[in-house]
Amino acid sequence: MSKINGSFINYSTPQRGSLSSQSKIIAVGGGKGGVGKSFISSNIAIFLANMGYKVVLVDLDLGAANAHTTLGEGLLKVGISDFLNGRINNLDEIAIATYQQNLRLISDSHADIDVANINLDQVSRLMSALYNLQADYLVLDLSAGTHSTTVDFFLMAQHHLVVFTPEPSSIENAYRFMKTSFFRKVKRYERQLGLEQALQDIMSQKDELQIRQPADLISALLKREPDRGQMLVQKLNSLQFNIILNQTRIHKDIDVGYSVQSVANKFFGIPARFIGHLDYDNAVWQSLRKRKPLLVEYPHSRLYTQILNISKSIAYSNRYKAVI
């Protein structure tokens, strides 16, 4: 069960043999638009497909879908809105084969829906169908912002990637996105663990208790409810933010990745790990203009190796825990 805009949604438990039994959903978020979420999602998806995994890239930037462009594909004839509006019931029918072997794309061409205007039933139906897709990896390309639907898609994953650039506004948005995701995950479990009242009491004394960051909330909770508080901490352990710094231009930019990791861990109490940086490279827009994926068009670029390393660190990581 998850809570969206104050209401609970249900999504069915995953079926045997489906994607969730292997638990390999990668979500790419970050709060800000234009930081490279779609570029990174598409290229990680291509790499995993090249490694021989069956991959589905899901463009969840509803209303502004553009992953097809990054992949060098044309507009799709059928998409997520057909599924959400009940015109198509099987998600497999909108998972379209791409030019890349092993890679299918779920996107939308109509642009008549938006993350902000799909209802709870539609979200839960989509989540259940995504969980039950037959694939080795699902890569979720998320929209900008911290809308509850976007955050809930982010929390579906086992691999949580947060993309940002060295600009202050992008760093701020990344922190905000991580904090919102963290608090939403707390909310998701508060009822299940019987912590609603305790958390409500703590939040009503927010100022006196000086609750500013996730870390403050957790330590206040552990004082009040040591056992159940500890159970919540265990649940939260599956939420590790893997941060990716994109569009670095000078060597010193890389320090930003380490400082965001350190501030998130020490100051906010958010578990973040800096997993890699990607250079700013003109090859990105050149490949887009040629409508060819960067990894296909520029296999000798430094960016190629950098994306390869990030993809490998995801594929070889053992964090395949179910989160629901």
Residue 99 touching ligand ADP (CB under 6 A): no
Quickly tell me which residue has 């939260």 as its tokens. 236
Quickly tell me which residue has 């700013």 as its tokens. 280
Output the smallest distance, CB 285 to ligand ADP, in A: 5
Site for ligand ADP (CB under 6 A): which residue of 76, 162, 239, 284? 284
Nearer to Mg ion, 37 or 184 (CB): 37
Residue 166 touching ligand ADP (CB under 6 A): no
Residue 299 touching ligand ADP (CB under 6 A): no
Residue 38 touching Mg ion (CB under 5 A): yes
Output the smallest distance, CB 322 to ligand ADP, in A: 27
Contact between 246 and 277 (Cβ < 8 Å)? yes
Residue 193 buriedness (CB in 10 A; 0-12 / 13-18 / 19+): middle
b/e map 125-151, b = 16+ CB within 10 Å: bbbbbbbbbebbbbbbbbbbbbbbbbb
Q: Closest Cα partner for 155 from 250, 238, 260?
A: 238
Nearer to ligand ADP, 63 or 269 (CB): 63
- 52 makes contact, choosing from Mg ion, ligand ADP, none, with CB < 5 to 8 Å by partner type, with none
SS (H, E, C) 178-204: HHHHHHHHHHHHHCCCCCHHHHHHHHH
Of the candidate spans 58-66, 169-177, 221-229, 277-285, the one that interacts with Mg ion by CB under 5 A turns out to be 58-66
Rounded to whole angstroms, what are the CA distances from 103 to 55, 191, 239?
5, 39, 27
Nearer to ligand ADP, 35 or 91 (CB): 35
Output the smallest distance, CB 290 to ligand ADP, in A: 12
Q: How far apart are CA 139 and CA 123, in angstroms?
A: 17
Rg (C-alpha) for the chain, rounded Å, is 19
Output the smallest distance, CB 146 to Mg ion, in A: 15
Q: At what angle do helices 226-236 and 168-190 cross, to 10 degrees?
A: 130
Output the smallest distance, CB 93 to ligand ADP, in A: 26
Residues in 247-276 that interact with ligand ADP by CB under 6 A: 247
Nearer to ligand ADP, 138 or 221 (CB): 138
25-29 vs 159-164, strand pairing mode: parallel
Output the smallest distance, CB 293 to ligand ADP, in A: 11
Output the smallest distance, CB 164 to Mg ion, in A: 13
Residue 162 touching ligand ADP (CB under 6 A): no
Site for ligand ADP (CB under 6 A): which residue of 246, 261, 301, 311? 246
Q: Which residues contact 177 (CB under 8 A, 6 or more apart)?
A: 29, 30, 31, 146, 151, 162
Nearer to Mg ion, 232 or 307 (CB): 307
Residue 175 touching ligand ADP (CB under 6 A): no
Nearer to Mg ion, 38 or 158 (CB): 38
Site for ligand ADP (CB under 6 A): which residue of 8, 258, 267, 285? 285
Quickly tell me which residue has 């827009």 as its tokens. 285
Residues in 30-69 that interact with ligand ADP by CB under 6 A: 33-39
Q: How far apart are CA 162 and CA 47, in angstroms?
A: 18
Contact between 221 and 202 (Cβ < 8 Å)? yes
Nearer to Mg ion, 211 or 278 (CB): 278
Residues forming contacts to ligand ADP in the complex (CB under 6 A) are: 33-39, 246-247, 278, 280-281, 284-285, 288
